[in-house]
Structure 1
Amino acid sequence: MAASISLAYSFSSCITSRTSVYRDIGLLSQNRNDNPKVNGVPRSRLRIVCGLAEEERPSVECGNYAQGKTTGGSPGSSQVSRREVILRTSSLSMLAFLNFRGERPDYLGVQKSVPSLALCPATPNCISTAEEINDPGHYVPPWTYNPEEGRGKKKPASKEQAMQELIEVVENTRPDNFTPRIVKKTDDYVYVEYESPFFKFIDDVEFWFPPGNRSLVEYRSASRVGNQDFNINRKRIKALRQGLEKKGWRSVGF
């Protein structure tokens, strides 16, 4: 993400945008009363000082620490000691790390029943070429590395060459400063974990070269936790596609 963000009790107020705050908190509900927890963490333990106007703050309980107040201790105490600030910052950082990374889904990979990548959940933070074309919220078109009006006629690339081109673009493209890490690679499949720069959220991104002579590549990009992604997955795929187009690739049908 482009904006900088820090956890509560930092020595300077958070420098952030509304989008990055909502994204990295990973809100699971628009109604705070319906959702007493955020990714398994009680809201009462999530104290975030945002430095934003009241109407711009995310719907989590922002603590009163920015005004120098405390929620415990001796009566009349109105200041938070530097040691307490440091300890609380450390604790919340670890809490966020442990709870916001999420577990790796067990359904990743090429599905066996109908060979394809997995479908998306109902949430809008996932896109996949396996979806129906009449589901514009989740469907995205596959790619071809040998377009007919391009190098497919002149000098078609082999699957091995296309795989190397894909790996190169993945490793050198970091939209929103997410860091890619290739977890698995076979002769027809690549699985990449993208890690966010602040709260270390993980997005799961897959690429599959299905069998056949059409030179196709299918893909799936999904946020592991939360509900909204503010188009992070679409922006990532667009950046990768633009990088691949420089090597001769094209989207199919679009």
Structure 2
Amino acid sequence: MTSAEAIRVTRLSKVHGRPPHHVVALDEVDLVLHRGTFTAITGPSGSGKTTLLQCMAGLDRPTGGEIRLGGTRIDGLSERELTRLRRGRVGFVFQGANLLTSLTAEQNASLPPRLAGRRVDPGTVRRLLADVGLGDRLRHRPGELSGGQRQRVAIARALATSPEVLFADEPTGALDSATGRQVLGLLRSLVNERGQTVVVVTHDPVAASFADRVTFLADGRVSGHLDAPTPRAVAELMTASEVG
């Protein structure tokens, strides 16, 4: 594991609403994620895991605390600066692939650099799609692809700008177990073979077991970590956090 930090979160808080009807989604979270690693964030519903991911990715603003992406503090950036960061330094994969139905796989995968105002190299986009197993599906539209293939297009799209961190929120939630394992195996290979930093939010112990480390959240706080996780160990700790 490399010692270089990909993300550092310090005393991160997120509060929705105002007293007395406010909800504390994150309660002074401290977390460090290293480059070239696969981290899974899990916990019960309402534990704050998706809020944490969205704050780290610049999709949501925290109420307090600091977030550093590489050497850049991002919690105080302007909307324009955050847009630039999201388009160039981070990638996103969500539960639904969120592809544009009128575009081909190749066109969907090339969207991020186009939106960032960069020149699109067709060869690079095609290589990305080949790397995710879709080299023969370049001209297929989403309606002509399976759920797993659509999610692979979404991963290729997320990689198109060579992001520092690839974030995924329940990326296998809409897939059957076999297809989900294939997608998770692909994310694992990105870490092993490319040194890509990957952060996944999941409620699934099997999905979490693909990570190098699992971070558990409960009531908006980090409740523990598990290195070299197995599905059984993750499930046991998830059950313990829910009971506790």
Q: TM-score, normalised by structure 1?
A: 0.20
Q: Which has more strand, going by share of residues?
A: 2
Q: TM-score, normalised by structure 2?
A: 0.21
Q: Which structure is higher in RCO with an 8 Å CA cutoff and minimum separation 6?
A: 2
